[in-house]
Amino acid sequence: MTRTLKMIIEYDGTDFVGWQAQANGRSVQEEISKVLDQVLQDSVNLIGAGRTDSGVHARGQVASFRTQSSLGCGSLFTALNGILPDDIYVRSVEEAPADFHARYDARERTYRYFIALTPSTFYRRYQWHVRYDLNLRAMNDVAALIVGDHDFESFCKYAAEVHHYRCAVTHSAWMQVGETITYEVRANRFLHGMVRALVGTMVDIGRGYIPVEEFRAVMDAHDRRRAGMAAPPHGLFLEEIRY
C-alpha cells in the first residue's frame, strides 16, 4: 500500500546550495532523500514546500513523499535523525492524506529576516550585521505598503520560472528587541529572491538612501533594477508553512 508522509524539517543553510537538488553542490533535499532511500529501501520523490536559496535557513520547512514502506513514523523519525548530518534535523514525521502535496497544498508561508546592529561572533552566520543607523519607523511604513495583493516583479530575480508575479501578503512588519531587528512577512507565495530584495530595499530606506515616497514607484516599475540590493542570505529563515 502506498502511503503519503509529511515531515517538518529544520536546517542550517550555511553549507548548502539550497533546498533543491543541484549538480553544483550539496543540497538539503538530496541529503534527506539519500537517507530516506537507505532507511525505507524505496526510491522516494521528496517534495519541499519552499525552495530556499543557498545559505538560507529553515526552522519549519515541510516536505512530503510517497512510499511503499510500512516502517512506522516513530521508527523513521529516529532513524533519520540518527543518520542525517548535524546541520539537518527532522522535527516530526506523520501520516498525511494520500493526495497531500507539501508545495501545492500550502496556504501561507512565513519568513523572518534578522539584522544585527552590533557584530556577534556567535550569531554571524544567522544575522546580517548592518553598520548604518536605521529609521525603523520608515521601514515599518514601507513594510505596511506591501500588505495586500500586489505585483512583486520589482523584487524577483530575473528569469524566474513563474506565470505571474502577484503575491497576497497578510503580514509585514519590523520589530526591534535589544540589538536585533527582525522582519516578519507572511504570504500565500513568494517569488525567487523576493524577501531578500524587500529587506535590502527597506534597509536602503531605513538608512535614508531611498526616500519612503519612492517605494510605491519602485513597486510599480516592475523592474528589479529599481529596487535595492538583495540582503545577504544568512539572515533569512523559513519559519512556518500553514495548510
Residue numbers annotated as active site: 53
Question: Under a CB-based contact definition with an 8 Å cutoff, are residues 63 and 242 in contact?
Answer: no
116 CB neighbour count, 10 Å cutoff = 19
Report how far residue 64's alpha carbon sits from residue 43's, in angstroms, rounded to the nearest whole number.
13
Quick one: how far is CA 138 from the chain centroid?
24
Q: Which residues have a Cβ under 8 Å from the Cβ of 134 and sit 6 or more positions away? A: 115, 117, 181, 203, 206, 207
Report how far residue 30's alpha carbon sits from residue 145's, in angstroms, rounded to the nearest whole number.
38
184 has which bridge partners?
Answer: 112, 173
Closest CA to 64 of 50, 53, 85, 82: 50
Report how far residue 160's alpha carbon sits from residue 191's, in angstroms, rounded to the nearest whole number.
8
